[in-house]
């Protein structure tokens, strides 16, 4: 308890899945948290459940104006934001020969552009108020390859690269930037692609012989948001049950 006392955090994609797990863990450790998501009903229900130190705001990560409004509201409501969990993202599978450019562009806009706009939006506030921590959600597909994931992996490799560049650029301003690389995590986003059968198959490919859960991922975000990780910057941290210790998930 208390590892994030005094922290003000924004969690994108915070209404459900990994995002909701991050929100709950941040709150439990003393942070004030803004839940940012396009899922209005789920996000508001979570904020209502968790109480006064959380707030839900409808937010489109691919919209620059939405980011400006989100950061301004957070600064006014809770104080200067000093933690950003750039968690929002979507997953789409598709063969190179068949995947439409509309799906490729959607992946880019939400996963990659959304991450960039988030870093851009919070930098001024963090710089003026002594620094902060930005945690970007990449994936094991940002560390290695998997068939059917070319467009998705492109965004996740980009996030990995942007994180390292941002860490170099923003480090002198007191802003740390790190990327988190989850493996197969049991969330609504992954269950859409095969349900229980997909989870069982995924578990069979993991050295620990199980898929992960949001509560496996959230403690890493707490650590990276806290002052305990004050000398960690530009890192890429896999949280995948060992999948990338040898080959890729799909290898």
Report how far residue 92's alpha carbon sits from residue 111's, in angstroms, rounded to the nearest whole number: 11
DSSP 28-80: HTT-EEEEEES-HHHHHHHHHHH-TTEEEEE--TT-HHHHHHHHHHHHHHHSS
Catalytic residue numbers, as ranges: 152
Report how far residue 119's alpha carbon sits from residue 198's, in angstroms, rounded to the nearest whole number: 33
Report how far residue 139's alpha carbon sits from residue 115's, in angstroms, rounded to the nearest whole number: 13
29 contacts 3 by C-beta, under 8 angstroms: yes
């Amino acid at each position: 308890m208390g590892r994030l006392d005094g922290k003000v955090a924004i969690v994108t994609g915070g209404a459900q899945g990994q995002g909701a797990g991050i929100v709950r863990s941040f709150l439990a450790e003393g942070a004030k948290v803004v839940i940012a998501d396009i899922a209005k009903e789920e996000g508001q229900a979570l904020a209502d459940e968790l109480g006064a130190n959380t707030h839900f705001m409808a937010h489109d990560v691919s919209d620059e104006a939405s980011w400006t409004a989100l950061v301004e509201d957070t600064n006014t409501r809770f104080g200067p934001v000093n933690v950003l969990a750039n968690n929002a993202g979507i997953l789409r599978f598709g063969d190179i020969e068949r995947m439409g450019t509309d799906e490729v562009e959607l992946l880019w806009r939400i996963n990659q552009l959304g991450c960039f706009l988030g870093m851009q939006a919070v930098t001024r506030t963090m710089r003026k108020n002594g620094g902060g921590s930005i945690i970007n959600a990449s994936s094991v597909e940002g560390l290695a390859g998997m068939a059917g994931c070319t467009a998705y992996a492109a965004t996740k490799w980009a996030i990995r690269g942007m994180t390292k560049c941002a860490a170099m650029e923003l480090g002198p301003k007191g802003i740390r930037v790190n990327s988190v690389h989850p493996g197969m995590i049991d969330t609504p986003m992954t269950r859409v692609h095969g349900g229980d059968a997909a989870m069982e198959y995924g578990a069979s490919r993991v050295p620990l012989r199980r898929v992960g859960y949001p509560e496996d991922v959230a403690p890493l975000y707490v650590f990276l948001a806290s002052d305990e990780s004050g000398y960690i910057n530009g890192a890429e941290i896999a949280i995948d049950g060992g999948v990338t210790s040898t080959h890729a998930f799909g290898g």
